[in-house]
Structure 1
Amino acid sequence: MQSKADKPDRKRQSGVIPQKVLWKAGTMLAPLPVSMVTCQAPGGKPNIITVAWAGTVCSEPPMLGIAVRPSRYSFNLIRQGKAFVVNVPTIELTAATDSCGVWSGRNVDKFKRLGLTPLPSKTVDVPGIAECPVSLECRLRHEIPLGSHTLFLGEVMGVQVTASLLD
């Protein structure tokens, strides 16, 4: 067991605050968890996009935000379908997650090519991914153009979780 004298004390270590310098503005919060976001235009085929910029933006009502470039195929699918599903991949899905960020859904059915299973959603008209342990079903509530990306804000309408994880 450490005695009080052995425990680090920031005040006693040096007494000097490190000097800071102003650096170029940029996105310095990395790494972030990567999500596999599913989207679909009404009557269209579902697509999967890899999204690294995603996170909680509100707890009441529960809302998530995802940042998507307007040039991406999935951008208009989200707008048209007014919904998306944020799927949390496992380590076993690393290669599939990477591939979804490389291939465009304009030319490839990513579900078929990667052997993934569309999971019917309970609350939105966009499937999740059955192989992902968590799928957060979101209804599009707002979109905010920010520059290189648009922030899509979705209200979480339902969450599907692999049952064995809840034991």
Structure 2
Amino acid sequence: MKKDLGVQPAIYPMPVLMIATYNDDDSVDVMNMAWGGICARDMVALNISRGHKTTKNIEQRGAFTLSIADVAHLDESDYFGIASGNKVADKFERTGMTTTKSTRVDAPVVDQYPITLECSVVEMQEQPYGLRVLGKIENVLADEAVLDEEGKVDPAKLGAFAFDQFQSGYYALGEKVGQAWDSGKRLV
């Protein structure tokens, strides 16, 4: 029997995404975000509030990078969600992480994250439920360590983790349990 839980953001798994931007003084800002993802083949959508430093930076620079957080950097990734760029000017520097300037967009690439999408802003949509930022994926960068022998990203090597909105936990991902567009063929 199912129990009524009421209205809540009950989707699992939620990605743990790291949005990196440059501040006015060219210092780095990184924000931990779960409410975003792919919305078209070459587009991402971020659902973000206006009050974030990251939102201001995205609007001013017209660009951002979006990285997938990995277990190896879970503490730093969580810190990016704890500390506010509006209150902690050296938020990024405190983690000891490093960046490289993107060659495609006006945003930093966090060197330690294994996958990074370099994105340019297409549109900032004011919605009744908040702000949606649509970004065009200009390029995807991947560390060679997470690639298989064919040059494709191997999720088992990625070390990604998901956010659990039910109990506010993080859970490691990576075990393959089926093959898309194949596992269900027995039902055809």
CA contact (8 A) 1:35 1:51 kept: yes
**1:121, CA displacement in angstroms?**
1.0
Between Structure 1 and Structure 2, how many residues are aligned? 147
Of residues 65-74 and 33-42 in structure 1, the stretch that sits farther from structure 2 once superposed is 33-42
Any conservation in 2 of the 1:122–1:158 contact (CA below 8 Å)?
Answer: no
Question: In the alignment, which residue of structure 2 is the partner of 1:116?
Answer: 97
Q: Assess if the C-alpha contact under 8 Å between 1:139 and 1:156 holds in 2.
A: yes
Which amino acid is 1:95 matched to? D
For residue 120 of structure 1, report the CA deviation from its aligned partner: 2.1
Matching residue of 1:81: 61
Distance 1:149 1:99 in 2: 23
User: C-alpha separation between the residues in 1 aligned to 2:61 and 2:97?
Assistant: 21
RMSD across aligned C-alpha pairs, in angstroms? 2.1
Q: Which moved more, 1:38-47 or 1:130-139?
A: 38-47
* Contact kept? 1:56, 1:64, Cα under 8 Å: yes
2:36 matched to 1:36? no
Structure 1, residues 89-137: CA drift from partner, whole Å, max 9, x if none?
2101111111111112232323310011112212001011100000100
Indicate the residue corresponding to 1:11 in structure 2: none
Residue type of the partner of 1:154?
G
Q: Residues 71-150 of structure 1: matches in 2 within 5 Å?
A: 71-106=51-86, 107-150=88-131
Matched, 1:50 2:50: no
Q: TM-score, normalised by structure 1?
A: 0.79
Alignment of 1:27 with 2:9, yes or no, is yes
Partner of 1:13: none
Letter in 1 for 2:137: V
% identity of equivalent residues: 24
Q: Greater shift after overlay, 121-130 or 42-51?
A: 42-51
CA distance in 2, matches of 1:120, 1:160: 12
Query: Alpha carbons of 1:158 and 1:152: their partners in 2 closer, same or farther (altered >3 Å)?
Result: same
Equivalent position to 1:67, from 37, 47, 57: 47
**TM-score, reference length from structure 2:** 0.71
- Pairwise CA distance, 1:31: 3.4
Structure 2 stretches lacking a partner, 5+ long: 150-188
Would the alpha carbon gap of residues 19 and 111 (structure 1) be closer, same or farther in structure 2, given more than 3 Å must change? Answer: closer
SS where residue 101 of structure 1 aligns? helix
